[in-house]
Amino acid sequence: MTRRNELAAAAAALQQRLPQGGRVLCAVSGGLDSMCLLHYLDTWGRAHGFSPAAAHFHHGLRPTADRDQAFVQDWCARRGIPCFTAAGDTRALAREAGLSAEEAGRQLRYDFLQQTAREEGFALLLTAHHADDNAETMLLQLVRGTGLRGLGGIPREREGIFRPFLDLTRQELEDYAAAHGIPHVEDETNADPEAAARNLVRLQVMPLLRQLNPRAPEHMAAAAARLGQVEEGLEALIRPHLDRCQVRRGQVSAELAALEEVPGFLLPQVLLGMLDLLGAGRKDVGTAHLAALEKLCRSGRQGAFFRLPRGVIAWVDGGRLVLRLPVPAGDREELVKGRPLSWGRYTLTLLDRREGPGLALGPGAEAVTAAPCPPAGRLTLPGARGGRTVKRLCLDRGIPLLEREGLPALYVGDRLAAVWRLGVDRDFLPEGTACRFVKIEERLEEREQ
């Protein structure tokens, strides 16, 4: 039996969130914590109006992953619990997006969980995070450098995900599993402190903290909850500053003069809020990154820039701090005649006549698409003896890396036809006056001085 009468804290949290019960989707890896969650919802939950289902994601990283999925499916089948499964290529996403395998797996897993919950009409998506997880997260955030939200640990609810076990310790869940004979599978990498930073904290740091105080995880979780409340209170102070930001597709900017008016204690929170507006989120953004952003704001030096986690680029341009997301290399958008397309700091409009600055392509039926500037792409420009890479052409013309990454490239069909500031490949030049013209306008307030 558990110290708190069969997970009464979880019952209170669930009934407060869904007083009348409802269909709930449980993220289930097959490990002890998630199997306790599923068992609890299948017993206490059913008796109180909850109808549970399981969702399991196969990351394709471990030899035992097939075993884990089969275990979850079999257990659910014996209990008559609906079970949703999916698989993803975690290593491929990690390579393509520049993420760690852990972060890529998390992104794939949560995309699957949230999509399943949405498409299947579940009232709530549940995970089995508990107080020890919360304490480990706080320590990791503190070591990496974090603000109030990081010290607030794992939220009870965010982005449609609810965590009913957050007040319970790992020991309480182990007691519950033993009392009810709940089977589970073990991820063999969990016993390796070198496999992940969280393993090192769980296996070596937390036992030392428990020697100081056996209730260390619970006390840390309580502190996290209080800090979370403080962070929520700051939102009212932060919002007016964020409302002054300009938000565009893949880009957020703020006047440096406006940021100078932000009180010093609040500026890091405003900068994190800008990352939220951008859609990049604040995960992995530590104290060092925020200090560098503040220094960039104070310098006000035109063209100064640096990189943040998740490929975000920050720079000063025209008296503004600009944050921009990277555009996926394979991402293309078709240009529709007469319809302006916002592309980074540019606006592209496909016309059937020359008008202002732009790139003229020969007429044709194939679609014209805009895409990020490809460094390895090749152009053969008029007068050149052969093709050269876009990267080499930019170096020859003194176009820095930051600016190169923002240049729009034009494709005709699947072939690279032109890059702004470099020119049009001679295979796609118009032969007479007839042409397809892509008018390219740089936004005045973001133009380099």
Q: What is the pLDDT of residues 218-266, one digit of tens each?
A: 888 888 888 878 877 788 889 999 999 998 877 899 999 999 999 988 8
The enclosing domain of 98 has a CATH number of 3.40.50.620
Q: How confident is the model at residue 191 (pLDDT cuts 50, 70, 90)?
A: confident
> Residues 168, 10: contact at Cβ < 8 Å?
yes
The answer to whether residues 276 and 349 belong to one domain is: no
The upper half-sphere exposure of residue 412, i.e. CA atoms within 13 Å in the direction of its Cβ, equals 22
Predicted pLDDT of residue 181 = 95
In a domain, 1, yes or no: no
Predicted pLDDT of residue 119 = 94
The answer to whether residues 33 and 152 belong to one domain is: yes
The answer to whether residues 313 and 341 belong to one domain is: no
Q: List the single range of 48-52, 66-70, 144-148, 350-354 with lowest mean pLDDT.
A: 144-148
In a domain, 239, yes or no: no
425 versus 6: which is more confidently predicted? 425
The answer to whether residues 203 and 251 belong to one domain is: no
Q: What is the pLDDT of residues 66-101, one digit of tens each?
A: 999 999 999 999 999 999 999 988 888 877 766 778
Enclosing domain of residue 248:
244-324
Determine phi and psi for 21, rounding to 5 degrees. 75, -170
The upper half-sphere exposure of residue 65, i.e. CA atoms within 13 Å in the direction of its Cβ, equals 15
Q: Which of 298, 324, 350 represents a domain boundary (last residue)?
A: 324
The answer to whether residues 215 and 173 belong to one domain is: yes
227 versus 46: which is more confidently predicted? 46
Q: Which of 274, 303, 324 represents a domain boundary (last residue)?
A: 324
Predicted pLDDT of residue 180 = 95
CA 109, CA 283: separation in Å to the nearest integer?
16
Token representation of residue 41:
């919802």
| Residue 147 pLDDT greater than 70, yes or no | no
The answer to whether residues 110 and 204 belong to one domain is: yes
The answer to whether residues 19 and 161 belong to one domain is: yes
Q: Which of 295, 324, 353 represents a domain boundary (last residue)?
A: 324
User: Which ranges of 48-130 does DSSP label H, i.e. alpha helix?
Assistant: 65-79, 90-97, 101-119
Per the structure, how many domains does the chain have? 3
| Residue 321 pLDDT greater than 80, yes or no | yes
| Residue 3 pLDDT greater than 70, yes or no | no
The answer to whether residues 43 and 162 belong to one domain is: yes
The answer to whether residues 355 and 253 belong to one domain is: no
Look up tokens 């306790």; give the residue.
36
